[in-house]
Amino acid sequence: MKAVKILLLVLLFVFIPLQSAFAAGTKTLDSYIPMDEVFYDHWANEEMTDLINADIIDGYVDDENNMYVKPNDSITRAQFVKIIVSALGLTSDGPGTTFSDVKQNHWYTDSIRIASDLGIISGNNGQFYPNNNITRAEITKIIVKSFEKTVDFQNTNSKAFTDVDSKNWAYEYISKASSANIVNGNGSQFNPTKNATRAEAMVMIHRALQKEQSALPNDADLTAFLTDHITRENALAETNSFAELAALYNEHGTGYYLVEGLLTTEWLSPQEEGMEYTVQIDDENLNLNVLQKSNRFATVEATGMIMSIVIKSPDFNMDARENMDGIYNLKKDPISGEWKIYNYLPSFDEEEFLAENL
């Protein structure tokens, strides 16, 4: 069914307005599609896309519901702390540090409270300077302190930077992050006082999340979860059980995967769309292979399934057969501790498939 969704979502862009799919106040598919001209050729495209799909970072949404990541813009201290707290699912019941320049009941207030209470941030002279741009050195310190319990910072084999000597206040943090390959610098320089860009901040967080190897999930648990989801999804798709499919996506999905799943089940509802839709999926040879994993994230390849799909509507017809090989991206929910699917990448070429079958 997920491969079916990928195909149909291409058609959604043509035939229906995506913004109308959900009630006000919830994310739409537009929230996951960057409109920046520089985004798709950006050196950090892969890491930024992954964090966006996993709901770890949000872009800026304008009045027309267009989302912009602004990867080359600077990032503020408050923005970075909020991303760290969200990425790690950090919580704390303590009061944290009282900073004279941190407003109460503001969008960053609770994140700063949590981070300061956990000793991740400390501020300076009673102030945190939440709206100041954060430097590369400051980001590195926060990264190391945030991940010191889950990432092996051996402080060995670290890269020597000509602009960071042993007297620099951030020397220890930069050395540790470098030894774990979380930071690389620019040639022989690290540029510690340079304002970090949003892309640089996202890449550092993404690398750190992948380096968490202290509490790895079992492959058997990951594949059992996905086997259950995929076989249930296929059975519901074959019987056009759209309400049950939506419930399944709410149970096992998050981020981009959840939004596109709910959007597709709503659009395919015959009583609303007046279309005929049938699908048959052969999943007897389903095979799942864990390609990569860390404490909170996993990548799993699915192979061996074949889909037959027939769609008839006033706007288009489709009668096709295609393999459903692809890659699932999973994340561990910080609250429930359960694994969730946040993205799926099919192996087939969607544009080529549609050109051949529409």
Task: Kindly report, residue by residue over 99-131, the tens digit of the pLDDT.
Answer: 999 989 999 999 999 999 999 999 888 999 999
CA distance 323 to 304: 7
Q: How many CB atoms lie within 10 A of CB 167?
A: 6
Which residue, of 211, 231, 249, is where some domain finishes?
211
pLDDT higher at 42 or 27: 42
Q: What phi and psi, each to the nearest 5 degrees, are found at residue 319?
A: -145, 100
Q: Length of the chain in residues, anyone?
A: 358
Residue 319 pLDDT: 81
Helices (H), the chain: 2-15, 45-53, 77-88, 109-117, 136-147, 171-179, 198-211, 219-238, 242-252, 255-268, 270-273, 350-357
Helix axes 2-15, 350-357, angle to 10 degrees: 70
Counting residues of the chain whose pLDDT is more than 70, the rounded percentage is 87
* Confidence category of residue 355, pLDDT binned at 50, 70, 90: low
Is residue 244 predicted with pLDDT exceeding 90? yes
Query: 21 with 36, same domain?
Result: no
Tell whether the model's pLDDT for residue 60 goes beyond 70. Answer: yes
Provide the pLDDT for residue 227. 97
Residues 34 and 171 in one domain: yes
Which helix (DSSP H) or strand (DSSP E) does residue 329 occupy? strand 326-332
DSSP label at 271? Answer: H
Are 192 and 49 in the same domain? Answer: yes
Spatial separation of the C-alpha atoms in residues 38 and 249, rounded to whole Å: 32
Number of CB atoms found within 10 A of residue 240's CB? 16
How, if at all, do strands 306-312 and 67-68 pair? Answer: unpaired
Question: What whole-number percentage of the chain has pLDDT above 90?
Answer: 65
Same domain flag for 273 and 305: yes
* 236 and 193 belong to one structural domain: no
Whether residues 115 and 39 fall in one domain: yes
Confidence at residue 323, expressed as pLDDT on a 0 to 100 scale: 86
| pLDDT band (50, 70, 90) for residue 4 | very low
Phi/psi for 277 (5° steps) reads -145, 120
Same domain, 167 and 220: no
Q: Are residues 36 and 21 in the same domain?
A: no
pLDDT class of 315 with cuts at 50, 70, 90: confident
Task: Indicate the residue among 211, 226, 257 that finishes a domain.
Answer: 211
Q: State the average pLDDT over residues 29-47.
A: 94
Answer yes or no: pTM beyond 0.85. Answer: yes
Whether residue 224 is found in the same domain as residue 189: no
User: What's the CATH number where 327 sits?
Assistant: 3.10.450
Domain termination residue (choose one: 180, 211, 242):
211
Q: How far apart are CA 244 and CA 250, in angstroms?
A: 10
Domain extent for 260:
2-26+216-357
- Specify whether 11 is located in the same domain as 107: no
> What confidence tens digit (pLDDT) does each residue in 11-25 have?
443 333 333 344 334
Overall domain count for the chain: 2
Q: What is the pLDDT of residues 264-312, one digit of tens each?
A: 888 766 544 567 778 889 999 999 999 999 999 999 999 999 988 887 7
What DSSP character marks residue 132? S
pLDDT in tens, 74-89: 999 999 999 999 999 9
Q: What pLDDT is recorded for position 354?
A: 58
Is it the case that residue 204 has pLDDT exceeding 60?
Answer: yes
Q: What is the mean pLDDT of the chain?
A: 87
More confident residue, 299 or 7: 299
Q: Is residue 176 helix, strand or coil?
A: helix
Q: Are residues 202 and 348 in the same domain?
A: no
Concatenated DSSP letters of 283-307: -TT-EEEEEEE-SSEEEEEEE--EE
Same domain, 125 and 192: yes
Q: Are 326 and 289 in contact (CB under 8 A)?
A: no
What is the pLDDT, as a whole number, of residue 195? 97
pLDDT single digits (tens) 150-194: 999 887 778 889 999 999 999 999 999 999 999 998 889 999 999
Neighbour count for residue 131 (Cβ, 10 Å): 11
